[in-house]
Structure 1
């Protein structure tokens, strides 16, 4: 299955035709979010967010006592930036991210399986592959873990936030 993003005009084409082809007005967006947004206006463009931690924050909540079951976990989204709360609501981001509760479960398991000792063991066992323990962590997670890189891979921000919460990563 091939997935492609759409390009959304942050400022409406009908009201701002001179911004129609401006790269600063074109935002990659999934089709679901583009359909939800339609012509609704947002207060802040995602491109204006300088600190990713001030946009959306993710955490993992334990919904049930049996941690062996994927449905024991719930991904929670919070929005420290008040300008983005409206976007979160309009796009239904809370419901969209809840669909990734299974990933939250996997992250919980990885945090337990890959202890600090195991991370160091892998780093020392494969010195030709890893120059640091963080390279092992990134491989284990299958996601970027540096704050500056979270836009490079889907769900990297969510993964990073949850693993910071669980103590697998240090900020």
Structure 2
């Protein structure tokens, strides 16, 4: 895994909050008005006329509260808004409406909302649990209706309005989880064409307050987000967070040469492994490799299996180039580039086709693999 590096990270996060707070507050206002209609202190017409949210969004919110057996079909038009009354509410509403009012009042305070949206990667998990404990919201099973309402207030669908802008500013071109796939952001004539997916490090299905928290949203590739991680319950104790750390030298790619094919570049000549550079009893080891089923990012994202199956051809090419560099002409190669006033990192990029320093690994796929293999072959180059 590669750490997400960006000089303007906090500025980007602050700009995002100023934009996302508007639709969130509009949702809060809508639900506050809906509760008033249910309890008879506001009219259905006031709710219908509220322009802060789309009509379909209103209907979805209203139908969360109404007993399905009492009102069929669901509310779809203005005439049916007169049915919004506590007598038609679902059973759970009576016992949970006070909790919901407290949540709304809390999030309406801008400083509270800002603390939530901009909570740090290290503190986000504990904040979600603390808020749920403070409001008396249990787990997903015991409080499933409140989870639905929270997911509609802190609605990840809103993020699509900001995703292209954030991805463009972050300039993360490869998936931080695997460093295999490009996740470029392309905007043409003001229209977004492609962008990364954004993974919830702490799944929004389990952590309802974190659905729009900036540092909980990780730009990533489709394979890591949708195929491998899905809604897996990652945690700081047994997973690395891309905004906090990358593998560094704690986890290195290495290889064994088997000479099964005549061409030294042939991928079948190589076995690819991941080697630990830390104590296997340390927390960092557990975060990277895991000590139990599905723990550790290497296990979760199937790094060794995928790289071994798909990318051994790169090893053969790197070994060939490293051996050529290490032969008698190495000095003359460096002198030639020295004459052109090109530094070691530029020479590395030209010769091995990737970036030399870890801070740049998110700019091109296979940067971590390339550095580890080249360093294994010619360690003196990095001194």
Normalising by the smaller structure, the TM-score range is: 0.7 to 0.9
Contact 1:63 1:73 in 2 (8 A): yes
Contact 2:253 2:369 in 1 (8 A): yes
Deviation at 1:10, TM superposition (A): 0.3
Question: How many equivalent residue pairs?
Answer: 169
1:40-72 Cα offsets, whole Å, 9 max, x none, are 112332322266222x31112113355623310
Q: Report SS of the residue matched to 1:114.
A: helix
Q: Please, what TM-score do these two structures have when normalized by structure 1?
A: 0.82
Flag the structure with higher strand content.
1
Determine if the alignment matches structure 1 residue 64 to structure 2 residue 259. Answer: yes
> d(CA) in 1 for partners of 2:324 and 2:305?
29
Gaps of 5+ in 2: 1-180, 184-195, 279-284, 290-294
Contact 1:7 1:26 in 2 (8 A): yes
Correspondent of 1:140 among 344, 351, 354: 351
Contact 2:322 2:377 in 1 (8 A): yes
Determine if the alignment matches structure 1 residue 22 to structure 2 residue 232. Answer: no
Worse overlay, 159-168 or 131-140 = 131-140
Q: Which protein shows a greater Rg?
A: 2
Correspondent of 1:82 among 286, 290, 314: 286
Q: Please, what TM-score do these two structures have when normalized by structure 2?
A: 0.40
> d(CA) in 2 for partners of 1:40 and 1:63?
37
Number of the residue aligned with 1:166? 377
Q: What's the RMSD between the two structures over aligned residues?
A: 2.6
Closer, same or farther in 2 for the Cα pair 1:110/1:27, shift >3 Å? same
Gaps of 5+ in 1: none
Contact 1:6 1:28 in 2 (8 A): yes
1:117-132 residue pairs with structure 2 within 5 A?
118-127=329-338, 129-132=340-343
Correspondent of 2:301 among 91, 104, 122: 91
